[in-house]
């Protein structure tokens, strides 16, 4: 748990239940901001992604967020803190698709493989599609041994940028990234 105090100071609860840096994991909460969406290129080859038939290639920046002491996001666009280059598709059935990405968060580089599950269109209102995406992270630098990225996503009729159509939604994703360290 991270507590953000008025004025921006923070404390993180450590592995023993106290506050301070954890010896075994780092946790980030970021907003992904889609900068481009193109047909899949050679970057999305099956040899790299682990799946064939990628349909599109997206590029994102990660933006830091400000969180109130109650846990509510009060600013979803504080500063650029990383980037992500992703391959998605093909659709599996009608409710999921493959997801592969390479990126950097701060100075930490990684790659990840996983999938996205899609809810029925039009929720929470017409013009929106909600999905959750999961990546198992690897190719991390020392001292990390692995991690997970979970994204809660809203896609609107405006696929790029931060202004949704219909307006008022933080798009496309808020992600939680957990990175696990080797025990010393």
Tell me the pLDDT tens digit for each residue of 104-114: 999 999 999 99
First to last CA, the chain: 22
Torsion-angle region of 8 (φ positive above 0: left; ψ -120 to 50: alpha; else: beta): left
Mean pLDDT of all residues in the chain?
Answer: 89
CB atoms within 10 A of CB 86: 24
Mean pLDDT along residues 164-179: 94
Domain map (residue ranges) of the chain: 2-181
Segment 140-152 mean pLDDT: 97
* Mean pLDDT computed over 120-124: 86
1-10 pLDDT, tens digit each: 454 444 454 5
Strand partners, 133: 116, 151
Q: Is the pLDDT of residue 115 over 80?
A: yes
Q: Helices (DSSP H) in the chain: which residue ranges?
A: 46-49
Question: For residue 47, what is the enclosing H or E element?
Answer: helix 46-49
pLDDT of 21: 65
What pLDDT was estimated at residue 20?
54
pLDDT over 60 (residue 35): yes
Q: What pLDDT, on the 0 to 100 scale, is given for residue 1?
A: 44
pLDDT confidence of residue 11 = 52
User: What proportion of the chain, given as a percentage, has pLDDT over 90?
Assistant: 78
What is this structure's pTM? 0.84
Q: Cis omega (within 30 of 0) on the bond before 151?
A: no
Residue 184 has pLDDT above 80, yes or no: no
If one counts every other C-beta atom within 10 angstroms of the C-beta of residue 155, the result is 19
| pLDDT at 15 > cutoff 70 | no
* Segment 42-56, tens digit of pLDDT: 999 999 999 999 999
Give the pLDDT score at 84: 97
pLDDT at 6: 46
CA trace torsion 66, 60, 160, 171 (10° rounding): -30
Residue 13 CB coordination number (10 Å): 15
């Amino acid at each position: 748990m991270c507590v953000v105090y008025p004025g921006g100071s923070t404390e993180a609860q450590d592995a023993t239940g106290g506050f301070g840096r954890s010896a075994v994991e780092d946790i980030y909460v970021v907003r992904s901001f889609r900068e481009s969406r193109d047909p899949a290129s050679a970057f999305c080859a099956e040899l790299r992604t682990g799946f064939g038939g990628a349909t599109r290639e997206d590029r994102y920046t990660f933006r830091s967020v400000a969180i109130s002491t109650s846990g509510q996001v009060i600013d979803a666009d504080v500063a650029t803190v990383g980037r992500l280059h992703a391959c998605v598709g093909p659709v599996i059935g009608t409710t999921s698709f493959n997801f592969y990405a390479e990126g950097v968060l701060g100075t930490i580089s990684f790659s990840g493989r996983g999938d996205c599950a899609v809810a029925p269109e039009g929720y929470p209102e017409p013009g929106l599609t909600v999905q959750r995406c999961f990546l198992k992270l690897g190719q991390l630098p020392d001292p990390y041994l692995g991690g997970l990225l979970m994204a809660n996503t809203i896609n609107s009729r405006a696929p790029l940028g931060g202004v949704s159509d219909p307006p008022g939604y933080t798009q496309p994703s808020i992600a939680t990234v957990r990175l696990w360290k080797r025990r010393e």
